[in-house]
Amino acid sequence: MAVPLNADRALATFRAAGLAIKEVRSWRTHNRNHIGPWGPVHGVVIHHTGEYSTEAGMVSLCYAGHSTLPGPLCHSVIDKAGTVHLVGWGRTNHAGRGDRDVLQAVIGEKPLPTDDEADADGNTHFYGAELINRGDGRDSWPEEQIDAAARWAAALCAAHGWSERSVIGHLEWQPGKPDPRGFSMDGFRARVARILKDEHEGPAPSHPAPGPKPTPYTPPPFPAGLAPGKDRPSAKPLQKALRAAGFLTITDGDLADAYGPRTQAGVAKFHDAHRQFKAEGVTRDPAIGPKGWAYLFTLAYGKK
């Protein structure tokens, strides 16, 4: 069961992925939560917008909706230049009712069955992005747009520890839907998988050092006799960042200098969601590692 990212963490996640972001009006609180639940979330649905006059007009439509379908109509609109417009956060009118068997396949990250029923509420369980395209088979799909869409999807997958199998097209979810038209969802998922793999492994060194690969790092217990803040930095900033990013529940009164079991449990949750940082611990920062700390700080506070 995955709790949806809150708006602050989502924004930090997208920015950390290098996406160009535009925040549209009151997107953080613009949603359909009064209609029904949002969450648990299990995956990402990719759409195309269909016929449009201007990109700005389509962004406005996806924010406001129309008389028969109130907005927001998705969480993000991705234009042809690859800019991600955030138009809502929470339950949105993007996925509608789709096939429960498809939902179960997404949850289990298994091959998708044919979507031949509409017996499950997708607005509860999926993030959604609308890619601006007429969907007529002739409108172009610029590389910048497809790349941004894949990195948007991969960022959400990485935040939840999902693979590319948690990314589906609207046409794979709801019977009779054609979108996205003009590219293969199998190819799109392969692109997402490459992004996730690159994030997990990191860039290859130009001169690899010989010898076996390092074993995954496990934070050691706080050694007796070391003075917090001298031999090892205080754990309080780490605890606050883990709390702000949603990996640790702790009150101000419980903050402590020691890297105790609760702090290590919060670090373990961070590692489960961002496995590329698991082997990064160093002597003076044993719990999280410098790159992992920088990424955690971005998730927690929305800046580097």
Q: What is the pLDDT along the chain (304 residues), one digit of tens a residue?
A: 589 999 999 999 999 999 999 999 999 999 999 999 999 999 999 999 999 999 999 999 999 999 999 999 999 999 999 999 999 999 999 999 999 999 999 999 999 999 999 999 999 999 999 999 999 999 999 999 999 999 999 999 999 999 999 999 999 999 999 999 999 999 999 999 999 998 766 554 455 555 555 455 444 343 333 333 333 456 788 888 888 888 888 887 777 766 677 787 788 787 777 777 666 554 445 457 767 777 777 777 764 4
The dihedral built from the CA positions of residue 272, 277, 280 and 281, taken in this order, carries a sign that is negative
**Domain endpoint, select from 174, 201, 228:** 201
Phi, psi of 166 (to 5 degrees): -90, 5
State the pLDDT at residue 119. Answer: 95
> What pLDDT shows up at residue 231?
39
CA distances from 5 to 90, 98, 151, 261 (A): 9, 23, 16, 25
Residue 179 lies in a domain: yes
CATH of the domain at 174: 3.40.80.10
Distance CA 270, CA 224 (A): 25
Domain edge (last residue) among 155, 183, 201: 201
pLDDT of residue 203: 52
Same domain for 67 and 181?
yes
Residues 15 and 134 in one domain: yes
What is the rounded distance in angstroms from the CA atom of residue 304 to the CA atom of residue 293?
A: 10
- In this structure, are 191 and 243 located in the same domain? no
CATH of residue 257? 1.10.101
In a domain, 76, yes or no: yes
* Residue where one domain finishes, among candidates 201, 217, 251: 201
- Output the pLDDT for position 139: 96
* The predicted structure's pLDDT at residue 235: 75
Domain count of the fold of the chain: 2
CA 203 – CA 72 distance, rounded (Å): 38
**Do the domain assignments include residue 213?**
no
Question: Is 219 domain-assigned?
Answer: no
Beta partners for residue 151, in sequence order: none
Domain residue limits at 270: 236-301
Give me the pLDDT at residue 153, please: 98
What CA–CA distance (Å, rounded) separates 211 from 106? 39
Residue-level pLDDT at 271: 77
- Specify whether the CB–CB gap between 59 and 87 falls below 8 A: yes
Assess if residue 126 is contained within a domain: yes
Per this entry, what is the length of the chain?
304
Residue 120 and residue 44 share a domain: yes
Instruction: Write down the pLDDT at residue 296.
Output: 78
In this structure, the number of other CB atoms found within 10 A of the CB of residue 285 comes to 15
pLDDT of 257: 65
Are residue 171 and residue 286 in the same domain, yes or no?
no
E-strand stretches of 65-145: 65-66, 69-70, 76-78, 83-86, 97-98, 120-121, 126-131
Looking at residue 103, its pLDDT comes to: 97
Does residue 174 sit in the same domain as residue 282? no
Helix/strand/coil percentages in the chain, nearest 5? 40, 15, 50
DSSP state of 119: -
212 part of a folded domain: no
Do residues 288 and 144 share a domain?
A: no
Instruction: Examine residue 189 and state whether it is found in any structural domain, yes or no.
Output: yes
